[in-house]
Amino acid sequence: MHKRTAVVLAAGKGTRMKSRQPKVLHAVAGQPMICHVLDALADCGVAQPVVVVGHGGEAVQQCLGDRARYAWQQEQLGTGHAVMMARPEVSEEVETVMVLCGDTPLLTGATLAALWETHEKTGAMGTVLTAVIGEPKGYGRILRDDAGHVAAIVEEKDADENQKAIREINAGTYCFDRAALFAALDAITPANAQGEYYLTDVLAIFRRQGGRVAAHTLTDEREILGINSRSQLAEAEAVLQDRLRRKWMDAGVTLIDPGSVFFHAQAVIGPDTIIYPQTIIEGETVIGEGCRLGPATRIWGSRIGNNVAIQNSIVLDSQISDDCAVGPFAYLRPGTCLAEEVKVGDFVEIKKSVIGKGSKVPHLSYVGDATVGEGVNIGAGTITCNYDGHNKHTTTIEDGAFIGSNTNLVAPVTVGAQALIGAGSTITKDVPAGALAVERSHMKIKEDFHGRKQKASK
């Protein structure tokens, strides 16, 4: 196999996005579009491509880190100029260079592998990825000779009316012989309507030198979509979501209403999980087998065990072990960790807390900065008062404790194992194991109060 590398063009400003953020960092299916491009390259064995950065380059570098090597294009002088800037980062040992754009998140690893294979099998100096589309406006057109070989690519602004009628277009992704590529780049000039150095001009140079230019034609034209506007970003999102839905259904996940369920590309879902409508799985979430999720549920960056039920709830950066039930209308904030068989009921908020095996927080409670043991029951309306206005404090509830309804646990405080807290209590001191703690004023009854009140008003 030829020694390969890739150059990813990511220096453009993307003015039509109307954003301060570099275009290639706008997210599709939960990750920056350029990350999708690097993922596709990784599927082909290119672990560290050269990314050409310019506008917002520091942000791109911060996002990608050591996934790439970097070249800078300080002036936006065209695609050919961008590849020239990458030259010092392309080793002379490399035989084949792929050039593609960082704003094409729909390209798949399979397509890139097929392009590489076509290039290397044909022995071409250059191979271009093409597609035949119904509306070619805005794309460069593929010009072929009488034998059907690629003769040149003409950009739309430089095309005449006959050339504009051609429906085979340049997808903006290429494979090149490295030595031929850089030799041809030295020969191109900005003699065009844009006054730029076009990468496509090297193909005409190859032809003049008697070299072959090959083409690999896509069957799914959606892959070539480049993102230049928010509407195109939405189009790409729709395509990727469709792919992800099909991927997970093929893997044994049931989607009751596929079109209303959204996934991030990094999420993993186990078989026999059922996902109900209007559910969103975000970030690097891992969901086990046999779960029932939704409806109207959002899960972000969390690890969910097997046979977990979550309905009408929000789960953020949390861990939920096997056989738990959450919701409806629960809110698990970052740092929540539920052990096996925990019940979190309706209108419960939990934050940065560990809840032990088999414990229950059935409804209308707030548990924050707490450690709750096994087999604990927390009654309705219970609050851990963890914030004193300056610092957060911890509440500890040990195994088997029973917390009565409408209890305020003023942290820092510990409730011992098997202790019982009477309903309506405000607990400000540690409660020993096995003890009963009740803190409430004595109940007073005044007989015939209503009658006496009426008499006093006359």
Query: Is 229 flagged in the annotation as binding?
Result: no
Query: Is 73 flagged in the annotation as binding?
Result: yes
Strands (E) across 286-356 are located at: 286-287, 292-293, 298-300, 303-304, 309-310, 314-316, 319-320, 325-326, 331-332, 337-338, 343-346, 349-351, 354-355
Query: Is 11 flagged in the annotation as binding?
Result: yes
Query: Is 387 flagged in the annotation as binding?
Result: yes
Q: Which of 81, 216, 264, 363 is catalytic?
A: 363
Report the alpha-carbon distance of residue 60 to residue 32 in Å, rounded: 10
Residue 363 known to be catalytic: yes
3-state secondary structure of 158: helix
Query: Is 423 flagged in the annotation as binding?
Result: yes
Query: Is 86 flagged in the annotation as binding?
Result: no
3-state secondary structure of 107: coil
Query: Is 198 flagged in the annotation as binding?
Result: no
The residues with which 70 forms a beta bridge, in sequence order, are 51
Query: Is 389 flagged in the annotation as binding?
Result: no
Query: Is 66 flagged in the annotation as binding?
Result: no
Are residues 171 and 218 in contact, defined by beta-carbon separation less than 8 angstroms?
yes
Query: Is 9 flagged in the annotation as binding?
Result: yes
Query: Is 162 flagged in the annotation as binding?
Result: no
Q: How many CB atoms lie within 10 A of CB 78?
A: 21
Are residues 97 and 178 in contact, defined by beta-carbon separation less than 8 angstroms?
yes
Task: Give the containing element (helix H, strand E) for 242.
Answer: helix 230-250
Distance of CA 183 to CAs 84, 121, 269, 271, Å? Answer: 10, 22, 49, 53
Query: Is 311 flagged in the annotation as binding?
Result: no
User: What DSSP character marks residue 442?
Assistant: P
Query: Is 243 flagged in the annotation as binding?
Result: no
Query: Is 228 flagged in the annotation as binding?
Result: yes
Query: Is 23 flagged in the annotation as binding?
Result: yes
3-state secondary structure of 100: strand
Query: Is 184 flagged in the annotation as binding?
Result: no
Select from 328, 186, 237, 216 the least CA-distant residue to 26.
237
Report the alpha-carbon distance of residue 367 to residue 414 in Å, rounded: 14
Annotated binding-site residue numbers for UDP-N-acetyl-alpha-D-glucosamine:
9-12, 23, 73, 78-79, 140, 155, 170, 228, 333, 351, 366, 377
Supply the residues annotated as catalytic: 363
Annotated binding-site residue numbers:
9-12, 23, 73, 78-79, 103, 140, 155, 170, 228, 333, 351, 366, 377, 380, 386-387, 405, 423, 440
Annotated binding-site residue numbers for Mg(2+):
103, 228
